[in-house]
A and B are shown apart, each in its own frame.
Chain A
Amino acid sequence: MKEKTAKPLLKVENLTVRFPVKRGGLFSKKSYLYAVDDISFEIARGETLAIVGESGSGKSTAALAVARLVKAHSGSVLLGDDDFLSLQDEALRQARAQVQFIFQDPYASLNPRLRAEAVVREPLDSLGTGDPSERQASIDALFKAVGLRPEQQRLFPHQFSGGQRQRIGVARALATRPELIICDEPVSALDVAVQAQILNLLRKLQKDFDLTYLFISHDLGVVQHMCDSVAVMYMGKIVEHADRLSLFNNPLHPYTKALLSAVPSVDKKRRQETKRILIPGDPPDPLSPPNGCRFANRCPAAQEQCSQSQPPLRQIAAGHTVACHLVSDNGIAPI
């Protein structure tokens, strides 16, 4: 493991995001969907934290809130020394340049009317750094860094393949020389061979520019390859958080175990050793989450106490926390 620098680049504390939802008729009272419910995590500079979890568990919402692209209800986001969520005006503009997003869909996330060069230039213009010739020099360098040819700057997004479009998205994200890049399913829309090209690129850029990644993916093979640590989310909560090797080799939470056991693998040994843990049914209605453990209705290890109180996140080993009543203090999992 890399040595942890004293101070994390990103520190998220007790972040909660809720959406107002109207249910039922005209006079129904407003209730809230807690898409992200009191989560905390940090990422060391130059490292990658992956967030995994099923569809609707709150991964994207958490990431969007970190970047201030949706409003947090409570909690704090420390970016270096800045209290990012309370910054205003010029300070906010400068800090925003430090946090960039790469989205899943390279087709939808680029403005179809702008040439590739203008797509990449936009964030530079809005930040107002350097004179025009300096900006052009940065654009040339960015195109080179992401593996696009200089003459491709003049083309429009539809003239590129999916992988090339994602390269443009990466170049755009790098333009403001950010420290943190949030990648929300950056390769899910791409073919496997093209995925490898982009994943290798992201890892190379991380080294070259000392980037910190918050990386969201539903593909656990990809996560394993990219991350230094992993947070597993279930219904808006982090249920397990550990460094890469602990999470994949010694998962403790029943949901994490079920998730990992469900991944089909080309490795014969893994197929023989993995006992599939089935979790039937669906998560409960997010508008009225249960009082106890949110995983209780699907958890093969559930006991009566599980539905009585919410299990808090507990530290089991250095850098390994888990929210389950039945994981023992010395790290024995219930299943």
Chain B
Amino acid sequence: MKPLLKVDNLRIELTTRDGVAPVIDDLSLQLNAGETLSFVGESGCGKSMTALALMGLLPEGVGRVASGQILFDGEDLTQASDARMREIRGNEISMIFQEPMTSLNPVYTIGEQIAEVLRRHQNLSRQAAWNKAIELLDAVRIPNPGARVSDYPHQMSGGQRQRVMIAIALACEPKILIADEPTTALDVTVQAQIFDLLRDLGRELGTATILITHDMGAVADMAERMIVMYAGRKAEAGPVEQIIEHPRHPYTKGLISCVPHLMATLTEERPELTEVPGIVPSLRDFGRDQCLFASRCDRADDKCKTSRPPEIEFENEQSSACWQAEQLR
């Protein structure tokens, strides 16, 4: 099967006061129709930048595609015109942002905002778009959609606003939905509802989802495959269950074991959490020819500090960019 989305050796450069740095450095990935792929990693590792690059929304004058391709249904989006990207955005690829309040317009009702997307991309009449908006609110389980469609964003709870964002993102039945930390600001019970909703809609519409999160539990719950990002680079990638059981990169291992998880049965035992010392390097250090995780890695040796580890692929579809990946089992 041909992948829906194929990213090849993508390099995104940001121009900052400190100079030019590769915020995404040689990233390749594939996304198949209907599947859920998760990006994980600490903040500042380039997850949102990757999403923005796919949407053609890199910060103007600051970010640019330096090399590589983003092939969507065979079309290279890095070469697409602004007009073409506007056609694709919100229609074939759409995105849910982390902050539901800032991404809805406070002066329009939610119905107007959903209908606007439908009218722009699908040429629906005013009335047809309004009716579809009500249907969509119903689909994202907003109770009493016929009345709530005339509400303003501030009249809804955080969870409801995020469901409205999902309704907008799904209005045109996109082929790819990018959800950037869609539930970080929400209660777990609401998160569970949003996740169920995303899963159901993915199943019904065949939408492929890219879920960006820092919560390994959410990844385990939602995604089939995952990509662990570190300092703009792919640290590890592969099937979720396999990686959680046998991470092949010390960073992945650290991310999993530094978090106190809820287990099937809790016991008296409470071992100290594994610490990954230090923090993500700053952007100006991103491009260096070394393993960027070396300063935090307890296995680091001279080689790690002087040359960038290549990506090693294993037979089980797992891959890891670590000099010692073979030994890590």
Binding site for B on A (CB under 8 A): 1, 54-55, 161, 163, 191-197, 199-200, 203, 218, 220-222, 224-226, 244-245, 248-249, 258-271, 273, 276, 278-282
A15 to B90, CA, bound (A): 50
A226 to B272, CA, bound (A): 10
Judge whether A220 and B262 touch: CB under 8 Å. yes
A265 touching B217 in the complex, CB below 8 Å, given contacts A192-B258, A196-B259, A245-B268: yes
Number of A-B contacts (CB under 8 A): 127
* Smallest CB gap from B213: residue in A: A264
A224 to B267, CA, bound (A): 10
Point out the residue from A196, A244, A268 that lies within 8 Å of B274, measured CB to CB.
A196
A279 touching B264 in the complex, CB below 8 Å, given contacts A193-B276, A197-B275: no
Q: Does B241 make an interface contact (CB < 8 A)?
A: yes
Q: Does B261 make an interface contact (CB < 8 A)?
A: yes
A268 to B272, CA, bound (A): 22
* Smallest CB gap from A204: residue in B: B272
Judge whether B189 and A262 touch: CB under 8 Å. yes
Judge whether A193 and B262 touch: CB under 8 Å. no
- A88 → B minimal CB distance (Å): 39
Q: Does B187 make an interface contact (CB < 8 A)?
A: yes
Binding site for A on B (CB under 8 A): 42-43, 141, 143, 157-160, 187-189, 191-193, 195-196, 214-218, 220-222, 241, 244, 254-256, 258-268, 270, 272-277, 279-280, 296
A199 to B274, CA, bound (A): 11
* Smallest CB gap from B244: residue in A: A266
- A161 → B minimal CB distance (Å): 5
- Can you list 19 A-B pairs with a CB-CB distance of less than 8 A? A191-B214, A193-B255, A193-B275, A200-B273, A203-B272, A224-B262, A226-B260, A245-B266, A248-B266, A249-B266, A259-B189, A264-B192, A265-B220, A266-B244, A267-B262, A268-B220, A270-B262, A270-B263, A278-B192
Judge whether B214 and A192 touch: CB under 8 Å. yes
A161 to B279, CA, bound (A): 8
A55 neighbours in B (Cβ, 8 Å):
158, 187
A193 touching B42 in the complex, CB below 8 Å, given contacts A262-B188, A266-B216: yes
A278 neighbours in B (Cβ, 8 Å):
192-193, 196
Judge whether A264 and B266 touch: CB under 8 Å. no
- B270 → A minimal CB distance (Å): 6
